[in-house]
Amino acid sequence: MFEAALYDVLFIDRSHNCPTPLPTPNDIDGSEVLPNRPGSARLVRIQQRFITKFGAHVRPIEAYNMLYVAKATTVPVPKVYAIYQRREKQSTVTYIVMQYVQGTTQHSWTCGVASTKLTLRTYFDQLRQLEHPGYFGNINGGPPLDDIFSATQGANEIKGSFATEDELADWIIRIYSLEIGERADSKTRYYQHVLPTVLRSDGTPIFAHNDFQRKNVTVQDDGALVIVDWEFSSWYPAYWEYSTAMFANGCWNDDWHEYVRIALDEYPNQSLWLSTFKLEMWS
């Protein structure tokens, strides 16, 4: 007889009132596998109304970010029903059970939809108006969840959040130096000189989605928007959201930048510097 694998329950929506039980990690097999990017977390649809995102690189804080935004704003996010974890071989796998949102993404909505741009502006304005905790970092007080601080050499040296923009800039330069190595010592010294004056806003932490791009905005059949994928969200300087969104523009082969400049305040100077920085580290 098949024995269900054990798992830990980190969160469960006690208000869930449905005759159908919430899915668990043991309900993954046989579910509908949804298309996703190679190498990223797996997505499956269960019972036509739930979606489970899971994998060794999925973190519970992604779900907690959505719970926070849903409680503190009217920004539409998928409803989170449960968070599970279990040990599988040599890794811990996180499972996030959330609402399945039917709609379109990618290029199908980017051209000529003025109402979409203005609606996105109201949502990002709400995020910017959230009361900040007095640091730059994730909602649990750790480092920001951007790949710069989590997927680079030296990232494991960062033990907590950053108290000031200067401290954040110092760590960016340190990580750059570790990623590039001695071949860029002169460039590192140049960045040490200029970045503290360039990567500058008013010093106020702003809660950012930090992955604003086409694929993360779902347009439902009635035109309503839902913003998905909150795995990189944290408290960042005011320029960070715009910079990340512009870096995602990639090939510059459509009008994506028009959406960005209407939905977000523009910070072209900081954006160009951060984009250059990332390209030098990761190209």
pLDDT tens-place string over residues 57-104: 999 999 999 999 999 999 999 999 999 999 988 899 999 999 999 888
pLDDT of residue 184: 76
Alpha helices per DSSP H over 103-164: 114-128, 147-150
Which of 276, 143, 155, 153 lies closest to 210, judged by CA? 143
pTM over 0.85: yes
Domains of the chain: 8-99 (3.30.200), 106-282 (3.90.1200)
CA angle at 115 for the pair 113 and 117, rounded to the nearest 5°:
80
Nearest residue to 70 (alpha-carbon basis) of 84, 81, 58, 83 = 81
Q: Give the span between the Cα atoms of 81 and 228, in whole angstroms.
A: 15
Are 259 and 153 a contacting pair, CB within 8 Å? no
Asked if the model's pLDDT at residue 170 lies above 50, the reply is yes
The pLDDT tens digits of the residues spanning 191-236 come to: 899 888 999 999 999 999 999 988 899 988 888 899 999 999 999 9
Over 90: is that where the pLDDT of 28 sits? no
